[in-house]
Chains A and B, each alone.
Chain A
Amino acid sequence: MLFNRYRRGLFIASFLAAPVILYVIYVISPNIQAFYMAMTDWRGVTATPNFIGLDNFQRVLGDSVFWKAVTHNLGLLVLLPAITIIIALFFAYLLNLGGDKGVSGIRGSTFYRVVFFFPQVLAVTIVAVLFQQVFRPDGSGMLNGPLMALGIEPVGFLSNSGIAFWSVLGVLVWQAVGFYVVLFSAGLAGIPRDVFEAAQIDGASRFTLFFRITLPLLWDTVQVAWVYLGILAMDAFAIVWVMTLQQGGPDWSTTVMAAEIYRNAFGYFRFGYASALGVVMFLFTVGFAILSLRLSRRERIEY
Chain B
Amino acid sequence: MATTTPVAPVGTPSRSAARAERKRRLGPLGVLTHATLAIWTLLVMVPIIWTFLASVKSEDEIFGAAWSLPSTLHWDNFARAWEQARIGQYMLNSVIIVSFSTFGTMLIGSMAAYVLARYPFRGNRVIYMLFVAGMAFPFFLALSPLFFVVQNMGSVPVIGPFIGLNTYAGTILVYIAYSMPFTIFFLSAFFRTLPTGVAEAAMVDGASHTRVFFQIMLPMAKPGIISITIFNILGQWNQYQKPLILLQDREKWVLTQGIADISTAAGYDADWAALFAALTLAILPMLVVYTVFQRQIQSGLTAGALK
Contacts and interface: CB of A to CB of B under 8 A. Distances in A.
Interface of A: 7-9, 11-12, 14-16, 18-20, 22-23, 25-31, 33-34, 37, 42, 44, 91, 94-95, 98, 100, 106, 108, 112-126, 128-134, 138-142, 144-146, 149, 174, 177-179, 182-183, 186-187, 221, 224, 228, 234-235, 237-238, 241-242, 247, 257-258, 261-262, 265-266, 271, 274-275, 278-279, 281-282, 285-286, 289
Interface stretch (B3-11, B77-85, B190-198, B290-298): B290-298
Nearest to B137: A31
B263 interface: yes
B131 interface: yes
B143 A265 contact: yes
Contacts of A177: 40
A128 B263 CA distance: 10
**Chain A at the B interface: SS class:** helix
A178 B37 CA distance: 12
A134 B50 contact: yes
B47 A131 contact: yes
Interface in B141-170: 141-150, 153
B108 A275 contact: no
Contacts of B291: 114
A144 B66 CA distance: 8
B279 interface: yes
A182 B43 CA distance: 17
Interface in B188-236: 208-210, 213, 234
Given A11-B209, A15-B115, A126-B256, A31 B121 contact: no
Contact of B138 (A114, A128, A282): A282
Contacts of B146: 26, 30
B40 A125 contact: no
Contacts of B255: 123
Given A123-B255, A126-B256, 4 more contacts: A26-B149, A126-B282, A133-B51, A179-B301
A138 B109 CA distance: 49
A138 B146 CA distance: 41
B140 A122 contact: no
A118 B290 contact: yes
Given A19-B109, A114-B291, A123-B238, A145 B140 contact: no
